[in-house]
Structure 1
């Protein structure tokens, strides 16, 4: 720049280097080329496969909890939020599955939603937040999910959730016995099809 400069010089230099045969033969590419997106298989049944992560750095509650353990079902997108302490050991958490270093970004996306909900509720919570985390979980489970095209609660239990405020307004027919099994299987099949569509869409974005 001490001797030569013009508007857009950096862009022009980059374009020249990218088309220079000698540069391509001699210069070393320090960044590995991105490969194709390798996705995980779709689970066979509810809660067969889970993903998990932790939300840390939260204000300590009256029960000395400062972390939320997030566990998500990969098929129905249902989630559980457990208040814990950051210094809990693995034996204290009682993990029952081996560690598998695979991820589909599901826990990270759920945590983003959880953090947004926590920030929205923080100003309204005037007591022990441990007592309110169950309400956040309830709200999340009844929120529409793009991948399965319905709420996780509906996908998990095969019916829409009736909030207490609606109990005197909604009279849904009770499903029992074989019909319940048939409806549940149909819901699972729908979930798998929706997840296949979402996987195809996400792979087209990544590749």
Structure 2
């Protein structure tokens, strides 16, 4: 994850080719030139096995990464509105569709 860590940021950005196994639990990846400021060796806990699905791919060009390696997500559309009623208050809820995400990833 790059920059600020919050629950709506994408967890993984794209599949990268493994160049070599480093130590007992790390891999060196072939990163794109846009990510040349990031160290290319990652612990296995930060990696996931990729199962091919074109919906999962978020292109780096579509995400405007700033110099401090942060980016901003933009909501596109409100899909649903609801009100959660608790004992003493009610909380308005909305379900948002985000830019660069599919409808299954709406939050």
For the criterion TM > 0.5, the same-fold answer is: no
Q: TM-score, normalised by structure 2?
A: 0.37
TM-score relative to the length of structure 1: 0.23
**Structure whose alpha-carbon radius of gyration is higher:** 1
Q: Which has the higher strand share?
A: 2
